[in-house]
């Protein structure tokens, strides 16, 4: 089945930046596959489903079976844009000498292995689309050059590793015409960002959508902030 509308898959679609991505792409006329761990309790996402262009799917990016199920459900669907948005911070115990190792493994599973897993599972569907874009929602906290302070070992290492995944995917998928980006959404007022963060989800997502709209294959394997500026690795 092919759609006339452009099609986007969003992971972690039930709250925060993911929910706003769903909302803005729907408003822009896209077909949206909103993926979340627990559709039965995703009330805000379900509230957008009066728009028939939204389809909600179960997806735990840390669970290979769940990713395979999604890929099977979408096997006939061309996907113009995959946004690997789902992510976790990893709790408070991530300073020098005080690390929760179980959390570290879990954060790598979700923030680093998750986007790789989903990108490989959906690569054929993205490659068969018109726009052929994959966007990994990273963080400026994963920039090795930008940070001159310590701490946040778990989250920072997961996003720095995700950035390397982006570069690798960009190389491996270039021959299929697929553009792969890492993006920093800003410091955003969500459950993760907290209420004193700089910008709203609306502002962040409006900026991300514009930079995604302007992205070309020449940008593949690069790291951008939500306002379109380039970030150092």
Ligand X SMILES: NC(=O)c1ccc[n+]([C@@H]2O[C@H](COP(=O)([O-])OP(=O)(O)OC[C@H]3O[C@@H](n4cnc5c(N)ncnc54)[C@H](OP(=O)(O)O)[C@@H]3O)[C@@H](O)[C@H]2O)c1
Q: How far is the CB of 130 from ligand X (least distance, A)?
A: 26
Under the criterion CB under 6 A, does residue 99 sit at the interface with ligand X?
no
Q: Are strands 222-225 and 179-184 parallel, antiparallel or unpaired?
A: parallel
Residue 87: φ, ψ to 5°:
-165, 160
* Window 166-205: contact mask with ligand X (x via CB under 6 A): ------------------xx-xx-xxxx---x--------
The SS3 of residue 201 is helix
Distance CA 67, CA 140 (A): 27
Q: Residue length, the chain? A: 233
Q: How far is the CB of 213 from ligand X (least distance, A)?
A: 19
Structure token pair of residue 170: 């960009």
**Distances from the Cα of 13 to the Cα of 8, 72, 213, 228, angstroms:** 11, 19, 20, 22
Under the criterion CB under 6 A, does residue 12 sit at the interface with ligand X?
yes
Alpha carbon 50 to chain centroid, angstroms: 24
Under the criterion CB under 6 A, does residue 22 sit at the interface with ligand X?
no
Q: How far is the CB of 155 from ligand X (least distance, A)?
A: 7
Task: Out of 85, 94, 157, 179, point to the residue binding ligand X (CB under 6 A).
Answer: 85
Under the criterion CB under 6 A, does residue 110 sit at the interface with ligand X?
yes
Q: How far is the CB of 204 from ligand X (least distance, A)?
A: 8
Under the criterion CB under 6 A, does residue 18 sit at the interface with ligand X?
yes
Task: Out of 139, 157, 166, 182, point to the residue binding ligand X (CB under 6 A).
Answer: 139
Under the criterion CB under 6 A, does residue 86 sit at the interface with ligand X?
yes
Distance CA 202, CA 192 (A): 15
Residue 188: φ, ψ to 5°:
-115, 140
Q: Give contact residues for ligand X (rule: CB under 6 A).
A: 11-12, 14-18, 36-38, 59-62, 85-88, 110, 137, 139, 184-185, 187-188, 190-193, 197
């Amino acid at each position: 089945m092919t759609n006339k509308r452009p099609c986007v898959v969003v992971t972690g679609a039930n709250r925060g930046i993911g929910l706003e991505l769903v909302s803005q792409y729907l408003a822009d006329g896209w077909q949206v596959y909103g993926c979340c761990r627990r559709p039965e309790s995703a009330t805000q996402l379900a509230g957008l489903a009066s728009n028939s262009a939204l389809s909600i799917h179960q997806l735990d990016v840390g669970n290979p079976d769940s990713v395979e199920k999604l890929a099977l459900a979408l096997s006939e669907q061309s996907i113009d844009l995959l946004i690997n948005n789902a992510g976790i911070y990893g709790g408070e115990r991530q300073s020098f000498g005080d690390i929760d190792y179980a959390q570290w493994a879990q954060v790598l599973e979700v923030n680093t292995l998750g986007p790789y897993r989903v990108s490989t599972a959906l690569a054929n569907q993205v490659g068969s689309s018109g726009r052929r874009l994959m966007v990994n929602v990273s963080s400026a906290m994963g920039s090795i050059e930008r940070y001159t302070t310590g701490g946040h070992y778990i989250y920072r290492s997961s996003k720095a590793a995700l950035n390397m995944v982006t570069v690798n995917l960009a190389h491996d998928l270039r021959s299929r015409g697929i553009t792969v980006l890492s993006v920093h959404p800003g410091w955003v007022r969500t459950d993760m960002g907290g209420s004193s963060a700089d910008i709203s989800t609306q502002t962040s997502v409006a900026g991300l959508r514009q930079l995604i709209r302007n992205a070309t294959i020449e940008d593949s394997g690069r790291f951008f902030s939500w306002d379109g500026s380039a970030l150092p690795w």
